[in-house]
Structures are given as C-alpha cells and as structure tokens.
Amino acid sequence: MISAVVLLSCVATVTAAFDVIAVPFDEGFSHLFGNDNLVRSSDGRTARLTLNRYSGSGFVSNDMYHHGFFSASIKLPSDYTAGVVVAFYTSNGDLFEKTHDELDFEFLGNVRGKDWRIQTNVYGNGSTSRGREERYVLPFDPTAEAHRYSILWTSHHIIFYVDDTPIREVVRSDAMGDDYPAKPMSVYATIWDGSTWATGNGKYKVNYKYEPFVSDFSDLVLRGCRADPIQQVDSVAARGCAEANGELLAADFALMTPKKRAAMRRFRERYMTYSFCYDTNRYPVAFPDCDIIPSEQSRFYEWGQSKYPRERRRSRRQSRKARAGDRKRASSI
C-alpha cells in the first residue's frame, strides 16, 4: 500500500534544517481571498500576500490532513506595521464552526521601532474560551530576511518551531481531553487588518499611509495524511493514517532530544512574553496540562505578562531612524 504520508511534487526541493520537501504553490495550495493581493512567483516557489486599504489576502491547502508537518519560510512586512496580522495556521473552522480545531502562528505587527511579536495558539473541539496562547519576541529581525516557521501535529504531541529551534511543545494527555486537536485540518496563510486587538489591545491601528503591507511565503511544506473529515474513516484509511502518524513520530523534527529541549528552554526563558499558564487573573486554576515551573512562573505577573520584556538589540543607527520616524508620525496625527 502506498504510504499515506504525502510528499508533494516530483520537482520539489529539499529544505534546510529538516529532511522535508517543499511543494510548488499550485500543487499544494489555492487562492483563498484577496483577488490581486495574492501574487505567485513565475517559478511557483513563492507566494506574496498583501494587505492594503481594500483587502487582505490568503491561501489555503488543496487538501485536509489528519496530523502532519507544515512549514513555511516567511518574510514579514517592515516599517510601521501596527494592527497588521500575518498568520500561518491549521484549522477546520469552515466545516466545524462550533467544534473546530486550530493550531496558529500569528505574527502581530507593531509601531515603528518596536519588534514584531509571535503568538501561538492551540484550540481543540471549539475550546476558544480556554485559549492556550503564548507570545514571544524574536532574537532576529523577521523583516530583513525569511525565517522558517513550522507546526508538527501528531497523535502524541504538537511542536512549534522557529527555524530549527522548538519554541513550544504540547503533549497530549488524558487531562487535556477533547481540547487536543483531533479532526482533519487545512493549512492556511493570511494577512489581514487586526486593528481591534493586535497592537496594544487595539490602541494602535493599521495606518494605510504605509500600505501596502507585504509578506512573502516560500519553502512551503505539506507532509501529512490526507483525509476527508466528513466521511467516516474506514479501516483501510485508518491503517494508512496510522502508518503516516508513525512515520511522522520517527522523523527528526518529531524527536525531542536533550539538545532540543535545552534550546527550547533557553528560547522560552529569553523571549517568551506571555503564557496562559501563568495568567491567574484569566484562569485562577491552572490548566491540567500546564507544566508549572516555579522559577519560570516567578518571571511573570499574575496576568501572564513577563516582568522582563525583551526587545531585539538594535544598532544605534536603527534606533535613531526609529525615533525620528516616530516623531514624524506623531506630528502628522
């Protein structure tokens, strides 16, 4: 029987860091919204998403997957990006409106001179009232060049990667119950106006004086078990997806070695700025799947925000340009 793990494209390229294959856009994805705000490169390797005053844009995978490894190299918009949201995520919300599953990378723009922030979310079976959000800053400038962001989803655990560094692991447990994503999902990439919440809880809006806001996606990876979420999974399909899940669990990106765990711990200590596990105002009783680490908990306020927010170090020239830009913007408001 042919393996259920899908490695799309006979002319695909092997990406760095992990032994995975990138798929040409037209073989793996389709236009979702935004008309001309989605532009594909002539070689089909890159998709450009644009937000302007008329629309955002996005694309979606041609298939749904029951577990998989999904990845993209993403270059974020630069300059003033407050209110802008770029997202790379899996979801089945179109089919299961009240019981949907979702795994997110959300990139939240900022005012000039301030860093982009990343938010990761895990929702299962419509658990949006029990959001498991975490936020981070990055140790590099995500607007200068593309970096790889990956989501691994298996029957056992979920891992979020930035380049080859794991930044978050969610291990399935009985305590998590139905909150663990379990239904087939599509893979999405979008850019849109999140003025109501993305920057300063809505204090800073998208300023279309700085449009267009452009994000480039390349090295697109879809490795997983194709599945039909509507049909009852028959025994043959179930065996195929079980085999695919086994192959995923055996892959290098699924193995959490001591070296990877140490790298994840360092990243979280240095760059995590919010954790739902330490947000006792929102959740007086910690989630049963939270791994409460006292030394880590002491770094956060009771509303889950870090007491020691970090910003990427900038050169003096960058800092002067940012301050000058902010003064100019303030004078024009």
> Catalytic positions, please?
102, 106
CA distance 94 to 71: 21
What tokens were used for 67? 């577990």
Cβ-contact 61, 222 below 8 angstroms: yes
CA distance 133 to 118: 10
CA-based diameter of the chain, in Å? 67
Closest CA to 303 of 284, 272, 285, 279: 279
What tokens were used for 74? 């993403």
CA distance 91 to 102: 4
Q: What is the 3-class SS of the chain, one letter each residue?
A: CCCCECCCCCCCEECCCCCCEECCHHHHEEEEECHHHEEECCCCCEEEEEECCCCCEEEEECCCEEEEEEEEEEECCCCCCCCEEEEEEEECCCCCCCCCCEEEEEEECCCCCCCCEEEEEEECCCCHHHCCCEEECCCCCCCCCCEEEEEEECCCEEEEEECCEEEEEEECCCCCHHHCCCCCEEEEEEEEECCCCCCHHHCCCCCHHHCCEEEEEEEEEEEEEECCCCCCCCHHHHHHHHHHHHHHHHCHHHCCCHHHHHHHHHHHHHHEEEEEEEECCCCCCCCCCCCCCHHHHCCECCEEEECCCCCCCCCHHHHHHHHHHHHHHHHHC
Task: For Cα atoms 183, 118, 300, give the angle at the middle one, nearest 5 degrees.
Answer: 105
